[in-house]
């Protein structure tokens, strides 16, 4: 099965339970937040938690992130090419013990040349956004190459279907009016092909807010730190400590439907490089829609752009269902 057919099959598999959970609307009680984070291939070693990870309440989440990234950067003896598409299908389950929430997540990664290049170029043209050099290279290829001072650090092509790094964590509600959380990342992915392979963890604090008494405008603000022991071709340059945080804001158009946006930022992931994609921190802007049903289901459909150019994928489609 080729990349596009696998993508459509995964989306179809997700839409079934989403449709089943979509019922009559109820009053929105939880704050607006997207379960999003940096989906870049070179960011995969870092244990950056998705916003909204381990929210209170027993249940589960199935989430698909369809990522396309193209980066061409050269400077001072360094030559970097990142070009490909990645499907990340993650299944998360939560257990509730009074104020304590425990959760575990297993991701499946499918990489390949993809089918979105032409569509992304048109999207960027419509909105006057940079195409990141997509017109300079072959369409729909999967190629990751980094040459430093004449030495090839990595050169990866082809495609993969593999399990990424498993994650598990805990959170406690009611801490100073917010939520304290921690996460452990296990190195179950293939570090040599940037499918994970890093042992690490993260700790963060988040707090919900509302701008009006009716809670029609709401969001979450959070901040924390991730610590990782990277492996693979870039382990000598990977930073072991990375700060991160996010802020979201949504508007409840009706009790069931909300529109909003979210910014997720983090510090630089690598040292000892003059290239912006390696030396700069990351910033991802997600915007889209949430639907909440009376049965407790929650559907998220969002798009993500790299507001800090080249340090994050230039386009991500996020689709998730919570129950």
Question: What pLDDT is stored for residue 138 in this prediction?
Answer: 66
Q: Which two tokens stand for residue 195?
A: 């499918």
Residue 154 near residue 145, CB atoms below 8 Å: yes
Question: pLDDT above 90 covers what percent of the chain?
Answer: 67
Question: What pLDDT is stored for residue 30 in this prediction?
Answer: 80
Q: Is the pLDDT of residue 123 over 90?
A: no
Q: Is the pLDDT of residue 250 over 80?
A: yes
The whole-number average pLDDT for the span 197-204 is 97
Look up the CATH number of the domain holding residue 181.
Answer: 2.40.160.40
Question: What pLDDT is stored for residue 104 in this prediction?
Answer: 97
* Residue 24 banded pLDDT, cuts 50, 70, 90: very low
* Residue 89 banded pLDDT, cuts 50, 70, 90: very high
Q: pLDDT, tens digit, for every residue of 292-316?
A: 988 888 999 999 998 887 888 888 9
CA 81 remoteness from chain centre: 21
Q: Which two tokens stand for residue 266?
A: 């983090």
Q: Is the pLDDT of residue 244 over 90?
A: yes
Which one of 2-6, 56-60, 115-119 scores highest in mean pLDDT?
Answer: 56-60
Q: Is the pLDDT of residue 117 over 90?
A: no
Question: What pLDDT is stored for residue 101 in this prediction?
Answer: 95
Cα 163 to Cα 284: distance, rounded to the nearest angstrom: 24
Total residue length of the chain: 323
The whole-number average pLDDT for the span 215-242 is 96
Question: What pLDDT is stored for residue 17 in this prediction?
Answer: 44
* Residue 135 banded pLDDT, cuts 50, 70, 90: low
Cα 319 to Cα 19: distance, rounded to the nearest angstrom: 13
Taken in order 2, 233, 38, 199, is the CA torsion positive or negative?
Answer: positive
Q: Is the pLDDT of residue 133 over 50?
A: yes
* Residue 52 banded pLDDT, cuts 50, 70, 90: confident
Cα 161 to Cα 164: distance, rounded to the nearest angstrom: 9
233/213: higher pLDDT: 233
Locate the DSSP E strands across the chain: 59-75, 78-97, 100-112, 143-148, 151-157, 160-163, 167-175, 178-185, 199-210, 217-229, 241-252, 257-266, 282-292, 298-306, 315-322
For residue 165, give every residue at least 6 positions away whose Cβ sits within 8 Å of its Cβ, in sequence order, or none. 44, 47, 107, 185, 186, 187, 188, 189, 196, 197, 198
pTM: 0.85
* Residue 119 banded pLDDT, cuts 50, 70, 90: low
The whole-number average pLDDT for the span 126-150 is 74
Question: What pLDDT is stored for residue 116 in this prediction?
Answer: 59
Cα 226 to Cα 232: distance, rounded to the nearest angstrom: 18
The whole-number average pLDDT for the span 186-209 is 96
- SS3 label, residue 126: helix
Locate the DSSP E strands across 139-235: 143-148, 151-157, 160-163, 167-175, 178-185, 199-210, 217-229
Average pLDDT of the residues of the chain = 86
Count of domains forming the chain: 1
The whole-number average pLDDT for the span 90-113 is 94
Residue 28 near residue 290, CB atoms below 8 Å: no
The whole-number average pLDDT for the span 251-255 is 94
Q: Is the pLDDT of residue 15 over 80?
A: no
Question: What pLDDT is stored for residue 4 in this prediction?
Answer: 46
Q: Is the pLDDT of residue 254 over 70?
A: yes
Cα 42 to Cα 69: distance, rounded to the nearest angstrom: 11
Closest CA to 87 of 14, 138, 154, 149: 14
Domain that holds residue 203: 3-322
């Amino acid at each position: 099965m080729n990349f596009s057919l696998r993508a459509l099959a995964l989306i179809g598999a997700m839409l079934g339970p989403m449709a089943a959970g979509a019922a009559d609307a109820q009053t929105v009680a939880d704050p607006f937040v997207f379960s999003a984070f940096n989906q870049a291939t070179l960011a995969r070693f870092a244990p950056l938690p998705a916003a909204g990870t381990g929210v209170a309440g027993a249940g589960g989440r199935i989430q698909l992130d369809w990522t396309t990234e193209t980066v061409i950067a050269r400077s001072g003896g360094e030559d970097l090419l990142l070009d490909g598409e990645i499907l990340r299908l993650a299944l998360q389950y939560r257990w509730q013990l009074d104020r304590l929430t425990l959760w575990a997540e297993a991701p499946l990664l499918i990489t390949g040349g993809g089918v979105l290049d032409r569509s992304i170029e048109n999207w960027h043209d419509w909105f006057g956004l940079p195409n990141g050099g997509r017109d300079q290279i072959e369409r729909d290829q999967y190629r990751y190459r980094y040459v430093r001072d004449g030495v090839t650090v990595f050169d990866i092509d082809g495609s993969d279907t593999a399990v990424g790094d498993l994650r598990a964590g805990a959170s406690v509600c009611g801490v100073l009016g917010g939520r304290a959380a921690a996460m452990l990342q296990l190195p179950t992915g293939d570090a040599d092909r940037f499918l994970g392979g890093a042992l690490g963890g993260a700790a963060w604090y988040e707090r919900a807010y509302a701008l009006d008494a009716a809670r029609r405008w709401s969001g979450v603000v959070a901040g924390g730190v991730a610590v990782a022991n990277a492996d693979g071709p870039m382990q000598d340059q990977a930073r072991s400590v990375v700060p991160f945080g996010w802020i979201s804001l949504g508007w409840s158009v009706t009790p069931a439907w909300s529109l909003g946006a979210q910014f997720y930022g983090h510090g630089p992931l690598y040292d000892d490089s003059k290239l912006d994609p390696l030396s700069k921190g990351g910033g991802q802007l997600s915007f889209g829609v949430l639907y909440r049903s009376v049965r407790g289901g929650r559907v998220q459909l969002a798009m993500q752009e790299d507001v800090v150019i080249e340090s994050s994928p230039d386009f991500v489609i996020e689709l998730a269902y919570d129950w």
